[in-house]
Chain A
Amino acid sequence: MNKQHKIKFVFTGSVGAGKTTAIQAISEVDTISTEAKPSEKSVVRRKPTTTVAMDYGELTIDGGQKISLYGTPGQRRFDFMCHILTEGALGLIILVDNTHDNPMGELDYFLNLNAAFLQNSAAVIAVSHFDEANQPSIDDYYQVLEERGDPWPVIHVDARNSDDVVMLLDTLLATLEYS
């Protein structure tokens, strides 16, 4: 396969933020997920199972080309997968669970983890579970981004809603095209 023509978007972010759900919401094929019992304590209390290698879904564009949708594992010990999966990707969607103990810390962590990739690419910050916790606010997220000098859009989403996930990709595409 010609690597140049691979179209890839990556969903990353904290455990339970909705990466697997988001890919399932829009993939036109049955998604491939690698779920297992979590090993990290902080994850055990949040979810009974979690992604350990990756999630995979697909969309097809005109001409039969595939858009690959990858989800990274949320547990810290699998961070290396993030670097593998983002290689050659067009852009990154960082999902942050707003009910997390420290959502700002999570945002900071995933931006740092992907700093090298984001030097030449784009990201969208998707804040999930906003209906359960409306603090921190979207303004708070922008403040963190402004302090870091990052220009990425912040959107609160319901990862179960395909319209919301499409909007994330639309925004990422516009960022790649115009920003």
Chain B
Amino acid sequence: MSILTFAEIRLDVPWQVVDSAIADFYLLNHRLRALINQDATLQSLPRKQCIFYTHNIIDRNDNELIISQATIPSLGSLVLLFNHLTSTKTVTHTSASVSEQPKSTVVDYHPAVSAEDSIINHTAINLEPETDYFDPEQGFVGLLISNEKGIKYFNLNNEIGFDKLYIHPEEKSYYTNNKLESLNTFFSSSESLSPQFLSEVELQQQIAAAGLKPQPLNNLIWYSTFSCSQGNVIKGHNPNDIVRLKRWPPINLPGCRKLIKLAAYMQSNAVDLNVAQTKTGIPMNQIYNFYNACKVTDLIEHVQQTDTYEKNLGDEKRQMFAKIGKRLNQSRQS
């Protein structure tokens, strides 16, 4: 319910969770699938209007809508799913308002169902919106990854005053006094994206005067892509692409620290991004930001087949790791 409330602002039509026999969609425990041909009530439910929830998303049939119970929900995926359902079911949706008929129902065969479910679509339909992509060839990232040679600098007119960001593509370095996170506004600004060029000698003079040290250009590319992606997947990505990390990304960069377990998972498993989301519980928009940054810095390997490494830790060890993680989190916040 609460996740639905959060999602409401981005839904094409209002949805309502109700407890009634007649509704547009039905939420069912996956175990009921086995009984669906035996139970008269279940048999009467149109299969295309059933959404199953399960702890094991591997246990699924084709053309089914599945909600994984294993992790925290992804709001973006929830919105995509609900809007997709609305667009494919043309019953009463065109001029709906909150006060109108409900669009879905919960058949409460399993009252323990959590609202904190992530949504995974296993139908053949592509739920990705066709327009909201991140295009790395545009904007600041586009300038960084272009083949244009020569040393350049950008003027930074940020809150700390006038400053410069130097890029040395041949040395694969950048120079600035600013922390990466303070450049976020600059990355997304279209006004400041006009680089000036300078010679090697001029660069050496200027960085010596400012006391600047070289930093890995790949870190700037990684972070600016991460920052500019805005939760949209990179242009050309297919949701069914099976990918893995070739090596660890620069996890000490701001923003990436929260995604360490995603990096660990994607480094050991070749999966599509939906599975990575289910396994790690990280919101899809953050996964997209992370994936785009890794993709642009050539850290992603595409493979033909899913290759997963399930680590069987056991409950005791898992609980211990959770406690250690909690303690480390406290250290970080203190």
A contacts, CB < 8 Å to B: 7, 26, 59-63, 65, 67, 131, 134, 137-139, 142, 146, 151, 153-157, 162-164, 166-167, 169-171, 173-179
Contacts and interface: CB of A to CB of B under 8 A. Distances in A.
Q: How large is the interface on B (under 10, 10 to 19, 20 to 34, 35 or more residues)?
A: 20 to 34
A170 to B, nearest CB: 5
Contacts of A167: 251-252, 257, 260
Interface stretch (B51-59, B106-114, B192-200, B316-324): B316-324
A137 B324 contact: no
B325 A170 contact: yes
B311 A155 contact: no
A151 B244 CA distance: 13
Nearest to A125: B248
B264 A178 contact: yes
Contact of B311 (A154, A162, A178): A178
B262 to A, nearest CB: 9
A34 B216 CA distance: 37
B301 to A, nearest CB: 13
Given A175-B264, A177-B261, A62 B323 contact: yes
A170 B251 CA distance: 11
A171 B326 contact: no
Contact of B324 (A131, A164, A173): A173
Given A142-B247, A167-B252, A134 B214 contact: yes
Nearest to B256: A167
18 contacts: A26-B331, A59-B331, A61-B320, A134-B215, A138-B216, A142-B248, A153-B251, A166-B331, A167-B252, A174-B260, A174-B265, A176-B321, A177-B313, A178-B264, A178-B265, A178-B268, A178-B311, A179-B309
B328 interface: yes
Contacts of A139: 216, 218
Indicate the member of A60, A137, A178 with the most B CB atoms within 10 Å: A178
B263 interface: yes
Contact of B252 (A61, A142, A157): A157
B235 interface: no
Contact of A174 (B213, B263, B313): B263
A156 B265 contact: no
Contacts of A156: 252
B179 interface: no
Nearest to A143: B247
Nearest to B250: A138
Contact of B332 (A60, A137, A163): A163
Contacts of B269: 178
Contact of B320 (A7, A155, A178): A7
A142 B265 CA distance: 18
A84 to B, nearest CB: 23
Contacts of A63: 323
A98 to B, nearest CB: 13
A7 B213 contact: no
Contacts of B263: 153, 174
Given A131-B213, A167-B252, A177-B311, A146 B257 contact: no
Given A61-B323, A139-B216, A170-B328, 7 more contacts: A7-B324, A61-B324, A131-B213, A166-B332, A169-B324, A173-B325, A174-B263
Contacts of B215: 134
Given A131-B213, A163-B332, A153 B261 contact: no
B266 to A, nearest CB: 9
A160 B262 CA distance: 26
A155 B216 CA distance: 13
Nearest to B325: A173
B321 A164 contact: no
Contacts of B267: 151, 178-179
A65 B323 contact: yes
Contacts of B252: 155-157, 164, 167
Contacts of A177: 261, 264, 311, 313, 318, 321
A61 B327 contact: yes
B214 to A, nearest CB: 6
Contacts of A174: 260-261, 263-265
Given A134-B215, A156-B252, A170 B320 contact: no
Contact of B328 (A157, A169, A176, A178): A169
A179 B268 contact: yes
Contact of A155 (B251, B318, B327): B251
A171 B327 contact: no
B247 A67 contact: no
B181 to A, nearest CB: 14
Instruction: List the 9 closest A-B pairs by CB distance, nearest first.
Output: A174-B264, A178-B264, A153-B248, A61-B323, A174-B261, A178-B265, A179-B268, A61-B327, A174-B260
